[in-house]
Amino acid sequence: MAKRKSTVAQAQPAPPAVPEIPVDQAMMDLSNLSGQIQHTTQSDVSGVAPPAFAANELNQDPQLIQDFLVEAREHLTNVEGRLLEIEQGVHTAETLHSAFRSFHTLKGLAGFLDFAVLQEVAHEVESLLDMARNGNLVLRPATVDVVLQSGDYLGVWLNYIESSANAKPAATPGDHMPLVERIRAAAVPEAAGDPDCESLSNPATEVPVQGPAEGSAAVAEVTSGGRRSESALVKVDTSKLEYLVDMVGELVIAQSMLRHNPEIGGVRSPRLQRDIAHLTRITAEVQKTAMAMRMVPIGQLFRRMTRLVRDLARKSGKQAELELIGEDVQLDRNIVEELADPLVHMLRNSMDHGLEGPDERQAAGKPAAGRVRLKASHQAGLIVIELTDDGRGLNRQKILEKAIERGVVKPDAQLTDSEIYHLIFEPGFSTADKVTDVSGRGVGMDVVRRNINKLRGRIEIVSSSGTGTTFLLKLPLTLAIIDGLVVVVGQDRYIVPIFAVREMFRPAPENLFTVEGRGEMAMVRQKLLPVVRLSRRLGVAAKSEDPCEGLMIVGESDSKTFCLLVDELAGKQEVVIKSLGATFRDVRGIAGGAILGDGRVGLILDLPTLVGGLAHVA
């Protein structure tokens, strides 16, 4: 399992203002364009500020633009990673060469398509890095800042070009000349003996992971195994991949319907049964392979968080150490994309509210540098993303008082620690004494919960005052297929996602109660749980109103544990999730549909919506 450990370097004075650029840009992987063109030379770039870009036949070609955007973003991602390694002092000579080559290629790509601004900025940074790799320039942390901000600026231009190509409104990025002047100023060799000129660009033979210093963050990496040869990889348009997965899903449904066809089942032919069994095995392998094509390592998302922690540490003056574990764990690419926003909000909260300042930590007997850990692992068929910090921990009493003040819970409510901690996900909820540009408005954690629910996942929180907090995000491997329990209510069938199910039982009269203000309750393992009658929630007629003739499914959603009452269990099945379309997209309690083995449609239940109104119980 891959493991990254980050440390921090001494903070440098903030450079002149350059517009801040969001660092959480999606990493794309399509066709490679660099082999199709020849790079421009330095003589192609003048010192005069060029126009944004001159329209020509090439930069009006949608496919060329798409290829350019994909490869340019790949190079910017590489540059950011390499520069952070250099800043942390955990690099080799090849690290600097790699960053140089990326800017050199960007310059050539931009020149080929007449994107003059991108060409000039890339050329200036390329010249700066060339001086550093040839030993003619001391590469200081402040210089790294300039290079990183240059990459951010180029990223803004890529977004602008993409919007323009798609005929979408977009504001033109700011003037690039102030940035160019800063790059040129940073490229001036420093006087020998300057104490502020400690070089980052001369790698040691063996580079230790250095301790952190105030106001900055960095990451070192230890990995196992080599990279796969690029010649063994093929880049495919994502729309084609999604279509292939959809068709494989249809194949699985057709095979299941064929296998459960009563007319075929009545044929007593050993050869036919062998052929159907063979078809079933092949279909399962095709489905497994197709789903594997959707899977990507979560490391590409984790590495994007490195820059975020670095910038937040520098802004807050805190010391931070980021540790990445399990970067090779794979999950659905759509889930990786949807996880970006939740992780950003959670890391911002950990850095702003969780971690203390160096003085406060040392007074509490802790190291001056706080530690934040991102870990991915497999657990019981799910992917578990663990975000841990060793900061103050959640203030249980303060959260409860704030919730009572806002009317979220009643003053006499008896809540568990987990239920109190989950109150931070309520819309607009915040315990911050003041609002900062990092957090404090009570928006971020609400976004986290909504996004995780949309991914059919759940969140668990463990916190200890003065020790730290751990958030556990438990997610399915893929959004395309779900393991579910097929339950029957009346004449209809529904699918309960199995990851939300704890146990099932047939209720007895002595275990059922009616509690004033809380409705029906069931005693399960010495704890009263609210009963949700699925028939009443969905407005369908149950076979019987007597709960003792039905089946109780103990489920969990958003820290709430409950009993879902259904008529009977029809079995367990892996189903391909189908959208219900725009007409039924907003139906409360339904997440989608699936075609069952007999050809009938089963509706997939959205448990967070179904139980959203339940009261907290002791």
Mind listing the pLDDT tens digit for each residue in 260-281?
A: 788 887 888 889 889 988 998 9
What DSSP string runs through 120-175? HHHHHHHHHHHHHHTTSS---HHHHHHHHHHHHHHHHHHHHHHHHHTT---PPPPP
User: Average pLDDT of 303-310?
Assistant: 86
Architecture of the domain defined by 238-293: Orthogonal Bundle (1.10)
For residue 346, give the nearest of 448, 483, 234 by alpha carbon: 448
For 11-48, what is each residue's pLDDT tens digit?
A: 344 444 444 434 333 333 333 344 443 333 333 433 33
Q: Per-residue confidence at 584, pLDDT binned at 50, 70, 90?
A: confident
Residue 147: which residues within 8 A CB-CB, separation 6 or more?
79, 83, 99, 125, 128, 129, 183
d(CA 496, CA 476): 14
Average pLDDT, rounded, for the chain: 78
H helix or E strand, kind and range, residue 222: strand 220-222
Question: What pLDDT is recorded for position 154?
Answer: 92
Under CATH, which number does the domain 296-475 receive? 3.30.565.10
Q: Is 470 a residue whose pLDDT tops 90?
A: yes
Query: In this model, does residue 304 exceed pLDDT 70?
Result: yes
Q: Confidence band (pLDDT; 50, 70, 90) for 438?
A: low
Q: Is 84 helix (H, G, I), strand (E, B) or coil?
A: helix
pLDDT confidence tier of residue 565, bands split at 50, 70 and 90: very high
pLDDT-above-90 percentage for the chain: 19
Residues of the chain with CATH 2.40.50.180: 481-610
Instruction: Give the integer Cα–Cα distance in Å for 452 and 441.
Output: 20
φ, ψ of residue 371 to 5 degrees: the values are -120, 130
* Percent share of the chain, pLDDT over 70: 78
- Rounded average pLDDT over 306-315: 86
Higher pLDDT, 242 or 554: 554
Residues carrying CATH 3.30.565.10, the chain: 296-475
Q: Of 249-258, 490-499, 542-551, where does mean pLDDT reach its minimum?
A: 249-258
Task: Give mean pLDDT, residues 129-156.
Answer: 88
Residue 372 has pLDDT above 90, yes or no: yes
Residues of the chain with CATH 1.20.120.160: 34-206
What is the average pLDDT across 68-79?
A: 88
Higher pLDDT, 289 or 414: 289
- Asked if 216 and 11 count as a contact pair (C-beta separation under 8 A), the reply is yes
Residue type, 80: E
In three-state secondary structure terms, 49 is: coil
Distance from first CA to last CA of the chain, Å, rounded?
A: 40
pLDDT greater than 80 at residue 233: no
Of 200 and 403, which is predicted with more confidence?
A: 403
Give residues with Cβ within 8 angstroms of 155, minimum separation 6. Answer: 21, 25, 73, 76
Residue 498 has pLDDT above 60, yes or no: yes
Helix H or strand E encompassing 581: helix 581-584
- 3.90.1150.10, 1.20.120.160, 3.20.20.60, 3.40.309.10: CATH of 34-206: 1.20.120.160
pLDDT tens string 186-232: 888 754 444 444 455 554 333 333 334 445 554 433 343 344 444 46
In the CATH scheme, what is the code of domain 481-610? Answer: 2.40.50.180
Torsion, CA 341, CA 343, CA 346, CA 350, rounded to 10: -140
Q: Which range among 248-252, 409-413, 502-506, 614-618 shows the weakest confidence by mean pLDDT?
A: 614-618
Q: For the chain, where do the domains classified as CATH 1.10.287 start and end?
A: 238-293
Pair 467, 393: CB distance under 8 Å = yes
Tokens read off for 494 = 């529904």
- Is the pLDDT at 388 greater than 50? The verdict is yes
